[in-house]
């Protein structure tokens, strides 16, 4: 009787070992844990939960992004829709600059910039569209029509809160619409007026500029005299 009981216990042990061995219970548990940790895209979920249909598109660089198609035909970049930056009454989706326009909203008749299909450009709002100083323009930025400032140089770019300064040498500044400006660094430092005529100088960036009686009479006229 004891021998039979021991044999049964040993058989049960072998059966259990086979279940938790390679490819057995442990692997199945790990697979379940892996599947359970996959988090869905919240923007995609939000689109589908709000009667939208998600479509994946590819831009000119080969990068993919999601478009939420809303009832009535309005399209929004999925994250813009998720953040409330694009919706049925504020259609701002674009694929390129030519998709954007500014004028009057065809439905609300209010000054509006966004997707050109919803803008009546025959009715203009100059101060709203371009700014009082005509320093604004409408561009397609990350698949959303945005009003951005017209920037001419590094200093203007660096003064904007939404610009990115890259600490290279010389420094570079990138605007929100992707335009990059390089800071102009003088090849030499102008020390004219310090009382010393810089006749012999080094040739590296930041070295004093060479001075002569013609270029800096304040320093060199006295030393030569």
Average pLDDT over residues 87-112: 94
In this structure, what token pair is assigned to residue 187? 């090849």
> Are 148 and 176 in contact, with CB atoms under 8 Å apart?
yes
> Are 192 and 216 in contact, with CB atoms under 8 Å apart?
yes
Q: What is the pLDDT of residue 198?
A: 85
- Domain match, 62 and 92 both: yes
- Domain match, 74 and 90 both: yes
Average pLDDT over residues 147-152: 92
Q: What is the pLDDT of residue 196?
A: 87
Does 131 score more than 60 pLDDT?
yes
pLDDT tens per residue, range 11-43? 554 444 444 444 444 444 455 544 556 788 999
74 pLDDT band, cuts 50/70/90, is: very high
- Domain match, 192 and 179 both: no
Does 191 score more than 60 pLDDT?
yes
> Are 128 and 111 in contact, with CB atoms under 8 Å apart?
yes
Percent of the chain with pLDDT over 90: 50
pLDDT tens per residue, range 200-220? 777 666 788 888 888 888 888
Is 12 a domain residue?
Answer: no
Measure the CA dihedral 31/32/35/38, to 10°.
-110
Q: What is the pLDDT of residue 223?
A: 54
Residues in the chain: 225
Higher pLDDT, 77 or 170: 77
Is 106 a domain residue?
Answer: yes
- What do you get for the CA distance between the two ends of the chain, in Å? 126
> Are 77 and 143 in contact, with CB atoms under 8 Å apart?
yes
Strands 136-141 and 144-149, by their bridges, are: antiparallel
Is 107 a domain residue?
Answer: yes
Does 87 score more than 90 pLDDT?
yes
- Domain match, 107 and 159 both: no
- Domain match, 181 and 192 both: no
Q: What is the pLDDT of residue 96?
A: 92
- Domain match, 120 and 160 both: no
Residue matched to tokens 């040498």: 169
Is 30 a domain residue?
Answer: no
To the nearest whole number, what is the mean pLDDT of the chain?
Answer: 82
Tell me how many domains the chain contains: 3
Percent of the chain with pLDDT over 70: 80
- Domain match, 102 and 178 both: no
Range of the domain at 216: 188-220
- Domain match, 129 and 59 both: yes
In this structure, what token pair is assigned to residue 68? 């939420």
- Domain match, 141 and 55 both: yes
Q: What is the pLDDT of residue 19?
A: 46
Average pLDDT over residues 129-147: 92
Average pLDDT over residues 170-182: 91
Listed residues 100, 132, 149: the one ending a domain: 149
1 pLDDT band, cuts 50/70/90, is: very low
List the alpha helices (DSSP H) in 37-167: 42-49, 78-82, 126-130, 154-158
147 pLDDT band, cuts 50/70/90, is: very high
Q: What is the pLDDT of residue 80?
A: 94
Average pLDDT over residues 124-146: 91
- Domain match, 141 and 172 both: no
Report DSSP letters for 138-189, one per residue: EEEETTEEEEEE---SHHHHHTSTT-EEE--SS-EEE-TTS-EEE----SSB
Is 17 a domain residue?
Answer: no
- Domain match, 107 and 204 both: no
- Domain match, 139 and 197 both: no
């Amino acid at each position: 009787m004891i021998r039979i009981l021991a044999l049964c216990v040993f058989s049960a042990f072998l059966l259990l070992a086979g279940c938790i061995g390679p490819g057995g219970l442990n692997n199945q548990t790990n697979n379940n844990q892996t599947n359970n940790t996959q988090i869905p895209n919240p923007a995609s979920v939000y689109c589908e939960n709000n009667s939208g249909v998600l479509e994946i598109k590819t831009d000119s660089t080969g990068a993919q992004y999601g478009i939420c198609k809303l009832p009535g035909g309005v399209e929004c970049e999925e994250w813009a829709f998720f953040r409330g930056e694009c919706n049925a009454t504020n259609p701002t989706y674009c694929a390129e600059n030519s998709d954007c326009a500014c004028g009057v909203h065809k439905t609300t008749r209010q000054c509006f910039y966004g997707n050109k299909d919803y803008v009546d450009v025959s009715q203009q709002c100059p101060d709203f569209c371009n700014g009082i100083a005509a320093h604004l323009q409408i561009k397609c930025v990350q698949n959303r029509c945005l009003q951005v400032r017209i920037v001419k140089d590094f200093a203007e770019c660096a003064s904007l809160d939404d610009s990115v300064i890259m600490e290279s040498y010389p420094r570079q500044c990138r605007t929100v619409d992707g335009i990059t400006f390089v800071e102009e660094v003088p090849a030499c430092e102008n020390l004219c007026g310090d009382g010393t005529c810089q006749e012999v100088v080094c040739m590296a960036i930041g070295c004093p500029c060479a001075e002569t009686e013609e270029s800096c009479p304040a320093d060199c006229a006295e030393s030569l005299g």
